[in-house]
Amino acid sequence: MMNRKLMFSNKNNVWCTPKDFFNKINEEFKFTLDPCCMPKSALCNKFYTPKENGLIQNWGGETVFVNPPYGREIKEWIKKSYEESLKKNTTVVMLIPARTDTLYFHDFILGKAEIRFIKGRLKFIDLDYSGKEENRKISPAPFPSMLVIFRGKLIC
């Protein structure tokens, strides 16, 4: 039986991307912007933390990797990703829970993006670890994940 309390818990909505997973998809996309990260979890040279609020920034002309907070605000990140991808020379790749029953999935993803379901459960990095790198806490996600790829308009 599914533990719905755990599955939709907001106790920890920051799931730091596993570096090896990011490196594999970065080989394909060559990301230039990480718009929703913490300073110590940034995966691109150009990034926005909550202080800069990536939701109000312009992502135009970038190849964007988005691993948004997985709480209630996820729908705002998905809407923003879709809208920004409509700008010229802009591609947005999102790593999000595979929740195909949500309104945001049907409003902004289905039929508008390439979807790649991830086999198995990703193991995310705890942002608040302290001490040596090898002692950081790594936790398997309590949900399946997917990549959502919004490809922008290209200038020919």
The domain limits of the chain are 29-151
Domain 29-151 indexed as CATH 3.40.50: yes
Q: What is the DSSP letter of 154?
A: P
Instruction: Please write down the HEC assignment for all residues of 11-35.
Output: CCCCCECCHHHHHHHHHHHCCCEEC
Q: Give residue-wise pLDDT tens across range 31-75.
A: 999 999 988 889 999 999 999 999 999 999 999 999 999 889 999
- Say if CB 29 and CB 66 are below 8 A apart: no
- Say if CB 125 and CB 17 are below 8 A apart: yes
**C-alpha–C-alpha distance, residues 33 and 66, integer Å:** 9
Query: What pLDDT does residue 14 have?
Result: 62
Q: Which residues pair with 124 in a beta bridge?
A: 139
Query: What pLDDT does residue 125 have?
Result: 73
**C-alpha–C-alpha distance, residues 79 and 55, integer Å:** 10
5: how many CB neighbours lie within 10 A of its CB? 9
